[in-house]
């Protein structure tokens, strides 16, 4: 499959500010759901999503948990320096959050001009302990920051819990509020590490999960730690010139086995979809090797477009992967993915997608175009004309890939 040459401007559309949901609804599953399973469009609510899902399907959710990744420092002059922890320099986000005494992260720094490189920032944690931030290096967009503190029992996750704020999207044009700590988190969030919510999952409640038994629908979870780059609009003239960010994925063997057997697979969120598609290419690339790569493995963004081997059905690929993992006494896979799903991409794993409405010129919108095979414009036009709420705290849609 050749890498498509498509203008980024094809994914621009007018999104009035009043259509961006600044806050979520008080009841998560009362959000509207646009159903586009064929050429027609229906409207319902998330609480009734089970009515539109195939019987005995498998639903896959991203259980990554958003961390309070923004830390504010107020200078004596009143000036504010904001540190936004993007990803650790070493290891997975979850591993780095368990660091004690020292943790080094790649950060975006708001007010960086106010921070001289030899100046240390200090926060008082309690009567006897401080946290210190030291800038190790700086480039155009990010800085490497070393955080340090004395207590060997205090983890970096504890530090963020005390000092950090939830990293709500900048397009909300408001400060994080106390309610965001609970609302900008799925009810099933478990593994800490994301700096942005897997927003399609924000609409699901315990009662929605209970409704799945009506159709013998199975659920399982994977983990993709969402990075800030997920929501960054593409600035390149052509979409293939955009450099995709890498995100950590963590997948258990029991899910891979389920995927090898399921006929209908429903991905809740673009992050879940990206994880499962990345898993397919990971498995295919390593089909004929006796071992499996370690956590240093990164699936490149153009792997599917440059793949020269034979594509196989997911059933064969995943069964082979499960057998290899058992031989190697491995129960989970952890690696990073840069996979970019663009128009023309052929989905290998999922055939249903639950997702929110995304920003103009975003890679998420391009993924939706690939999944709907060009229908995104009519779907978004309908949503805009019928008072759907957009972006992270907004409504969503159920799509079918055929």
The per-residue pLDDT for range 51-88, each reduced to its tens digit, is: 999 999 999 999 999 999 999 998 888 888 999 999 99
Q: Which helix (H) or strand (E) holds 109?
A: strand 102-110
Give me the residue spans of the domains in the chain: 8-66+183-400, 70-164
Q: What letters, b where the CB count within 10 A reaches 16 and e where it falls short, cover 185-202?
A: bbebbebbbbbbbbbbbb
Q: Is 295 left (phi over 0), alpha (psi -120 to 50) or beta?
A: alpha
pLDDT the model gives residue 231 = 66
Q: What pLDDT, on the 0 to 100 scale, is given for residue 400?
A: 98
User: pTM for this structure?
Assistant: 0.95
8-66+183-400: which CATH number, 3.40.50.800, 3.40.1780.10, 3.40.50.300, 3.40.50.1220?
A: 3.40.1780.10
Q: In this structure, what are the phi and psi dihedrals at residue 93, rounded to the nearest 5 degrees?
A: -55, -45
The per-residue pLDDT for 113 is 78
DSSP of 343-392: TTPPPSS-SEEEEE---TT-HHHHHHHHHHTT-HHHHHHHHHHTT--BST
Q: In the prediction, which pLDDT does 214 show?
A: 95
User: Alpha-carbon distance 114 to 9, whole Å?
Assistant: 36
Q: What is the pLDDT of residue 24?
A: 97
Give the span between the Cα atoms of 108 and 183, in whole angstroms.
24
Residue ranges in the chain modelled with pLDDT below 70: 231
Q: Which of 168, 219, 160 is closest to 192 using CA atoms?
A: 160
Tokens of 391: 């972006």
């Amino acid at each position: 499959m050749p890498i498509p040459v498509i203008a980024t401007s094809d994914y621009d559309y007018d999104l009035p500010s009043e259509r961006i949901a600044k806050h979520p609804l008080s009841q998560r599953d009362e959000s509207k759901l646009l159903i586009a399973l064929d050429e027609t469009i229906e409207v319902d609510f998330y609480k009734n999503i089970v009515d539109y899902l195939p019987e005995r399907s498998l639903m896959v959710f991203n259980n990554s948990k958003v961390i309070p990744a923004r830390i504010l420092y107020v200078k004596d002059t009143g000036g504010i320096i904001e540190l936004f922890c993007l990803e650790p320099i070493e290891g997975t986000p979850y591993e780095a959050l368990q660091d004690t005494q020292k943790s080094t992260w790649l950060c975006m720094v708001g007010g960086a001009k106010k921070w001289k490189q030899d100046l240390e920032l200090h926060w008082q944690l309690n009567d006897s302990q401080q946290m210190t931030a030291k800038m190790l290096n700086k480039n155009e967009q990010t800085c490497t920051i070393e955080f340090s503190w004395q207590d060997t029992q205090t983890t970096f996750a504890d530090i963020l819990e005390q000092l950090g704020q939830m990293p709500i999207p900048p397009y909300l044009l408001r400060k994080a509020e106390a309610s965001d700590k609970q609302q900008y988190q799925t009810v099933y969030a478990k593994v800490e590490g994301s700096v942005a919510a897997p927003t399609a999952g924000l609409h699901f409640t315990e009662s929605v999960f209970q409704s799945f038994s009506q159709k013998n629908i199975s659920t399982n979870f994977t983990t993709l730690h969402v990075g800030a780059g997920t929501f960054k609009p593409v600035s390149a003239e052509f979409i293939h010139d955009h450099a995709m960010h890498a995100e950590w994925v963590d997948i258990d063997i029991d899910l891979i086995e389920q995927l090898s057997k399921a006929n209908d697979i429903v991905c809740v969120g673009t992050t879940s979809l990206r994880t499962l598609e990345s898993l397919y290419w990971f498995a295919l690339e390593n089909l004929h090797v006796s071992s499996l790569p370690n956590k240093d493995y990164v699936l490149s963004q153009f792997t599917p477009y440059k793949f020269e081997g034979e594509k196989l059905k997911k059933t064969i690929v995943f069964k082979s992967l499960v057998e290899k993992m058992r031989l190697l006494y491995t129960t989970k896979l952890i690696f990073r993915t840069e996979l970019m799903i663009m128009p023309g991409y052929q989905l290998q794993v999922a055939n249903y997608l639950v997702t929110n409405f995304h920003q103009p010129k975003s890679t998420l919108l391009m993924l939706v175009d690939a999944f709907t095979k060009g229908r995104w414009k009519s779907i978004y036009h309908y949503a805009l004309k019928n008072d759907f709420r957009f972006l992270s705290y907004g409504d969503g849609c159920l799509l079918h890939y055929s």
